[in-house]
Chain A
Amino acid sequence: AQSVTQLDSHVSVSEGTPVLLRCNYSSSYSPSLFWYVQHPNKGLQLLLKYTSAATLVKGINGFEAEFKKSETSFHLTKPSAHMSDAAEYFCVVSVDSSASKIIFGSGTRLSIRP
């Protein structure tokens, strides 16, 4: 069965410093993986997706993630945090090969200190 674990419920970084949000997955096949962001009182927006092409995926707003099969990880990074990055981030794994059905991680709240 497929599952996804976000290792940190809350991450706090200073503006201008790197961001690392950790995600591990479990899957019986090569999954599709996504990162979504949710700003306060807003819907969810796709940051990036991995679909078995390049293992390093670049997304919007300077975020990127690397698929590491040996570590079953899909961590989200950004070189330099901005105040506008403060939000909830969700790692998502597909249940089937076409990603018709997806499972959300529990979320990581990212805070940015001035």
Chain B
Amino acid sequence: DAGVIQSPRHEVTEMGQEVTLRCKLISGHNSLFWYRQTMMRGLELLIYFNNNVPIDDSGMPEDRFSAKMPNASFSTLKIQPSEPRDSAVYFCASRGAGGLVNEQFFGPGTRLTVL
């Protein structure tokens, strides 16, 4: 199994540009989580989906951020327009169903730098 796949691994963009981060879940998993990691705030949950449906988006910073899950295995996180304070590492995690308590499996992350 390839694990959770994220792309790109690194993104450098200028303020005001649109940024799209991508995530492919582990085959058979049905929950998808987007996190942001910064030195100041640590790891924060932005949004999570269960069976393609957004369950909790209370961590999404503002309307500039949006996330979609167009099918059971793929998700995007879009920032438009981007700002320097969005610079962070963005992680995607997937989780399977069927067990009593299942852990989340994390991707390698996308390091975003907004100039």
A contacts, CB < 8 Å to B: 32, 34, 36, 42-46, 49, 51, 90, 94, 98-107
Contacts and interface: CB of A to CB of B under 8 A. Distances in A.
Interface in B65-115: 91, 93, 95, 100-109
Nearest to A44: B106
Given A43-B91, A44-B91, A101-B56, A107 B101 contact: no
Interface of B: 4, 31, 42-43, 45, 48, 50, 55-56, 91, 93, 95, 100-109
A34 B103 contact: yes
A100 B31 contact: yes
Given A32-B101, A98-B101, A104 B106 contact: no
Q: Is the interface of B mostly helix, strand, loop or mixed?
A: strand
A70 B29 CA distance: 35
A90 B37 CA distance: 12
B2 to A, nearest CB: 13
Contacts of B42: 104-107
A43 B108 contact: yes
Nearest to B43: A104
Contacts of B108: 42-43
Contacts of A94: 101
